């Protein structure tokens, strides 16, 4: 019997996230994903009048590919993949993993070749020239990382991914307005006190059009304005390594000190290029169903009562022009059980201990969004 949750999610991706129009070509790229869901997605694309292209990938195979990669090979693959992406009007990326640490033993220099010559050129086209959405797939490994049973996690996953995003978008409009008009930002929390400016940067609402699940509103610091320190209280899995207790010290926008459980690897990534030590994004997360870290960025960056701060590449929209092969969303949770904290825009306290406290933003608190 078909899983009706598959159908609902497929409709969300085709009808809401990409808003696929008749005749538009969409690349469906599925990593370790249930074939039945991919087939359901193809059916929905066809029903909308779209033209589906499908690529199924295995992270186990990709690990071998990256381990033996040469620069010439990565350049050639990147050119091939870029040419295909250039012919698409939309992209749906579904990323599952049977082992979240599958890439942990791929040498850093090999991953850097992939990032530079394959991932970045293709991603630039996808982000700037297509309607796109990316999401994770609920594998047993994902359920284990979340500390849940497979069945319980699947129920949670589909509830989170198919919530009422139109309602969320409406509730987010006052926050977007405040961020667009703001100059000074202050973020506080345990071992954390950061100040910076977002003047004239702008802001972008995210309510299911790019990421599933969604629930954030992002801006970006003026490049040289960030000062202070932050110790992230959410573990971060990046390039196959699990980082914990990341602490950054910033002066005039640049990360001048960085430590973690994997300090050497952390600094290797931050030394990828000049832009990796500057900040490319600042965002507030408020998905009401995501309460705790799952060691997956697409979920963790939307945690209710969180914000994320991102070394590396800035987006073309609401960005500061920073360029980098790195874009690393590091998450800080400000709810009381994580030590609390405050977010100030200019002289107004807008969120305290993870809850919005000004009248026009109360609709973003979890009981309102989930109800």
What does the pLDDT read at residue 1? 52
Q: Which two tokens stand for residue 168?
A: 């969320």
Average pLDDT of the chain is: 95
What does the pLDDT read at residue 2? 63
Cβ neighbours around 16 below 10 Å, total: 16
What does the pLDDT read at residue 294? 87
What does the pLDDT read at residue 271? 96
What does the pLDDT read at residue 83? 97
Q: How far apart are CA 206 and CA 287, in angstroms?
A: 11
pTM confidence score = 0.82
Whether 333 and 234 have beta carbons less than 8 Å apart is answered as yes
Q: How far apart are CA 116 and CA 324, in angstroms?
A: 10
Strands, E, within 128-235: which ranges? 131-136, 184-189, 192-197, 204-206, 211-212, 216-219, 227-231
Q: How far apart are CA 85 and CA 98, in angstroms?
A: 26
**CB pairs under 8 A, 24+ apart, for 60-68?**
60/98, 60/102, 62/31, 62/103, 63/102, 63/103, 63/106, 66/103, 66/106, 66/110, 66/111, 66/113, 66/114, 67/105, 67/106, 67/107, 67/110
Using a 10 angstrom Cβ sphere, with 0-12 exposed, 13-18 middle and 19 or more buried, the burial of residue 29 is buried
Q: Among candidates 132, 142, 146, which has minimal Cα distance to 27?
A: 132
Pairing of strands 90-95, 131-136: parallel
Which residues in the chain come in under a pLDDT of 70? 1-2
Return phi, psi of residue 152, to 5°: -65, -40
Q: How far apart are CA 21 and CA 212, in angstroms?
A: 20
Q: How far apart are CA 88 and CA 265, in angstroms?
A: 36
């Amino acid at each position: 019997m078909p899983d009706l949750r598959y159908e609902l999610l497929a409709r969300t991706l085709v009808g809401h996230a990409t808003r696929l129009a008749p005749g538009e070509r969409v690349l469906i790229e599925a990593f370790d994903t249930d074939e039945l869901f991919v087939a359901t997605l193809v059916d929905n694309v066809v029903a909308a009048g779209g033209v589906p292209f499908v690529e199924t990938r295995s992270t186990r195979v990709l690990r071998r590919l990256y381990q033996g990669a040469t620069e010439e090979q990565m350049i050639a693959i990147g050119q091939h993949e870029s040419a295909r992406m250039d012919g698409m009007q939309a992209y749906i990326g579904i990323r599952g993993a049977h082992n979240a640490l599958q890439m942990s033993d791929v040498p850093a220099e090999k991953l850097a070749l992939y990032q530079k010559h394959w991932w970045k050129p293709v991603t630039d086209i996808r982000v700037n020239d297509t309607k796109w959405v990316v999401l994770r797939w609920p594998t047993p490994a994902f359920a284990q990382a979340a500390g849940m049973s497979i069945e319980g996690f699947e129920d949670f996953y589909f509830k989170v991914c198919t919530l009422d995003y139109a309602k969320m978008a409406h509730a987010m409009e006052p926050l977007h307005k405040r961020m667009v008009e703001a100059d000074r930002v202050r973020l506080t929390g345990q071992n954390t006190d950061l100040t910076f400016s977002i003047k004239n940067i702008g802001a972008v609402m995210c309510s299911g059009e790019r990421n599933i699940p969604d629930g954030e509103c992002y801006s970006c610091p003026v490049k040289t304005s960030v000062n202070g320190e932050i110790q992230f209280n959410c573990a971060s899995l990046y390039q196959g390594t699990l980082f914990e207790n990341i602490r950054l010290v910033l002066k005039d926008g640049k990360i001048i000190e960085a430590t973690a459980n994997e300090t050497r690897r952390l600094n290797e990534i931050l030394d990828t290029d000049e832009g990796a030590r500057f900040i490319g994004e600042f965002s507030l997360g408020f998905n009401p169903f995501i309460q705790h870290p799952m060691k997956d960025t697409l979920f963790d960056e939307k945690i209710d009562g969180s914000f994320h701060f991102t070394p590396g590449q800035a987006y073309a929209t609401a960005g500061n022009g920073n360029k980098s092969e790195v874009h690393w969303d590091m998450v800080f949770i400000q709810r009381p059980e994580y030590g609390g904290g405050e977010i100030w825009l200019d002289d107004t306290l807008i969120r305290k201990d993870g809850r919005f406290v000004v009248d026009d933003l109360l609709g973003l608190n979890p009981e309102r969004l989930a109800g």
